[in-house]
Amino acid sequence: MLTLYHHPRTRSSRFIFLLEELGAPYEIHRIANIRRPDGSGGVDPENPHPHGKSPALKDGDVLVWESTAIALYLTDKLPQNGLGPVVGDPRRGAYVSWLAYYAGVLEPAFMSAYMKWDIPRGTAGWVKTDEVMALITATLEKGPYLLGDKFSAVDILFGTTFKMFTGTPLFQTTPLLDAYVERVMSRPAYARAQAKENA
Ligand SMILES: N[C@@H](CCC(=O)N[C@@H](CS)C(=O)NCC(=O)O)C(=O)O
């Protein structure tokens, strides 16, 4: 049995969405507490994540943590719905690249913009948000999804993140990005996931 360790309105929410897309049986274990930026909260001793964060996934005795690892693990384990190209598929390279890009470039880019850090180009392993969004825009112009014509788990990661940033000074929305977010959010699995959000 797959168990998603979830705390409402955190990065774990998108894995309810992915699990709903995958259609496999799973259960949600609610993480009772996480640390908050204002110093409140704390670590739930029942949360298996090594830093007490959300999300974590258990597959029997196997523990998986880090969002991109969880996405890859789940789509490899449950390939039948085609949510992640498997080894041998020509789109596999793009798939693992976007997964790594999410954790290694997109999140650091937005966090450094939020913190107003000036990125030393050539030294930092990531680039500024305008470069990130230019690549994403160019990719989606060929789209409609990051892997082309087929929706995948990377669209869950990127689409839900863009939705969260929409309306904040960090994120310059465009009709193309709005349409992409809407395309991802209009999926029935997203609505089912929302219904389970506070599980
Ligand atoms: N790199 C991790 C980040 C997970 C993360 O930071 N989650 C936040 C909630 S959205 C959290 O649990 N914060 C509590 C803490 O940092 O202790 C991932 O993508 O899974």
The DSSP code sequence of 155-166 is HHHHHHHHHHHT
Q: Ligand 1 within 6 A of 67 CB?
A: yes
Maximum CA pair distance of the chain? Answer: 46
Q: Whose CA is nearest to atom 19 of ligand 1?
A: 67
Would you tell me which CATH number, out of the four given (1.10.260.40, 3.60.20.30, 1.20.1050.10, 3.40.140.10), belongs to the domain 92-187?
1.20.1050.10
**Tens of pLDDT along 161-175?**
999 999 999 999 999
- Express each pLDDT in 89-106 by its tens digit: 999 999 999 999 999 999
Is any ligand 1 atom within 6 A of the Cβ of residue 52?
A: yes
Indicate the class that CATH gives domain 2-83+189-196. Answer: alpha beta
Closest protein CA for atom 6 of ligand 1: 53
Arithmetic mean of pLDDT, 66-92: 97
Centre of ligand 1 to C-alpha 142, Å, is 32
Per-residue model confidence (pLDDT) at position 153: 98
Average pLDDT, integer, range 110-125: 91
User: Encoding tokens for residue 103?
Assistant: 């954790």
- Say which amino acid occupies 125: G
pTM: 0.97
